[in-house]
Amino acid sequence: MTELSKEQQTELEAAAFRRLVQHLRERSDVQNIDMMNLAGFCRNCLSNWYRDAATDVGIDLSKEASREIVYGMPYDDWKNLHQKEASDAQKAAFEINKPTHD
């Protein structure tokens, strides 16, 4: 395996994060509940992790600001544009699969 400096590792992780966020913005057809049911995380989780990282280094970042970073727009705007009502099957699957944290 290639040896990476800490700086290189951080740069690559940041690039991968930016690519993931861009991918999630482009795939607005994928609902958060489906992501939670299949992968155990969603856009909101990612924004919470971003906010946690900011807090860890002493940066005060609001929930709304961290969500806007991930969604690319205010969360309420994204919900109005892209979020659909969850089906009974999606809700039932979420109850089975929902994480015990957050």
Distance, first Cα to last Cα, the chain: 35
Q: What is the dihedral of CA 91, 96, 99, 102, to 10 degrees?
A: 50
pLDDT the model gives residue 100 = 65
What pTM does this model have?
A: 0.86
In the predicted structure, residue 102 carries a pLDDT above the cut 60: no
Where residue 97 falls among pLDDT bands split at 50, 70, 90?
confident
Over range 14-24, report the average pLDDT.
Answer: 97
Q: What is the Cβ-side half-sphere exposure of residue 18, based on CA atoms within 13 angstroms?
A: 6
pLDDT the model gives residue 58 = 98
Sketch out the chain's domains with CATH numbers: 31-102 (1.10.3340.10)
Give a three-class secondary structure readout of the chain. Answer: CCCCCHHHHHHHHHHHHHHHHHHHHHCCCCCHHHHHHHHCCCHHHHHHHHHHHHHHCCCCCCHHHHHHHHHCCCHHHHHHHHCCCCCHHHHHHHHHHCCCCC
pLDDT the model gives residue 84 = 93
Q: What is the pLDDT of residues 31-81, one digit of tens each?
A: 999 999 999 999 999 999 999 999 999 999 999 999 999 999 999 999 999
Where residue 88 falls among pLDDT bands split at 50, 70, 90?
very high
